[in-house]
Amino acid sequence: MAKISLVVNGNPVNANIDPRTLLVQFLRENLRLTGTHVGCDTSQCGACVVHLDGKAVKACTTLAVMADGHEVRTIEGLAADGAPLHPMQEAFREHHGLQCGFCTPGMIMTAVDLVHRKGHDLSDHTIREELEGNLCRCTGYQNIVQSIAAGAKAMAKSDLA
């Protein structure tokens, strides 16, 4: 077993885990943060994307023990319970950026990371290139791209990063 302490969505977390526990397993099964999904489980689909020290990573291909001492942010950490949604979440709702919703947490975490790296004014081309590691099997992406472009702009005016 391995002792880990990390910060998840702003809260300190301590745990004693089997070193082979994946970060996504740890988030879902130990912390019950089930917003982060397991899609392909082979680092292709991006349903498991979370932020590790502010950078988008695939939680299905990261050991929880390697996140020891680091900071993790999941979809649950974007906006507080009961508070208004994060602008990127709101944009997905407004622009119908989801159908079944399975890929959505990963899409949104990838989109927020994209805005942090490339700013608020994103071309459709940039968004499509950057979504390379996120698969959606419902929407055909058009509405996701629109949502991200709108969410990126809305983030410029919001207090939520």
Q: Which residues bind other proteins (CB under 8 A)?
A: 2, 18-20, 22, 41-44, 46, 49, 52, 55-58, 61-63, 65-66, 68-69, 110, 113-114, 117, 130, 132-134
For residue 15 the two structure tokens come to 């745990």
Nearer to other proteins, 9 or 134 (CB): 134
Nearest to 144 by CA among 102, 104, 85: 104
Read off the tokens for 70.
């680091």
Between 66 and 94, whose beta carbon lies closer to other proteins? 66
Nearer to other proteins, 74 or 134 (CB): 134
| Smallest gap from residue 27 Cβ to other proteins (A) | 15
Nearer to other proteins, 93 or 117 (CB): 117
C-alpha span between 88 and 85 (Å, rounded): 8
Instruction: Count Cβ atoms below 10 Å from residue 83 Cβ, excluding itself.
Output: 8
CB of 134 to other proteins, least distance (A): 8
DSSP H or E stretch at residue 144:
helix 142-156
Q: How far is the CB of 9 from other proteins (least distance, A)?
A: 19
Q: How far is the CB of 112 from other proteins (least distance, A)?
A: 12
C-alpha distances out from residue 64 to 18, 47, 52, 142, Å: 9, 17, 11, 34
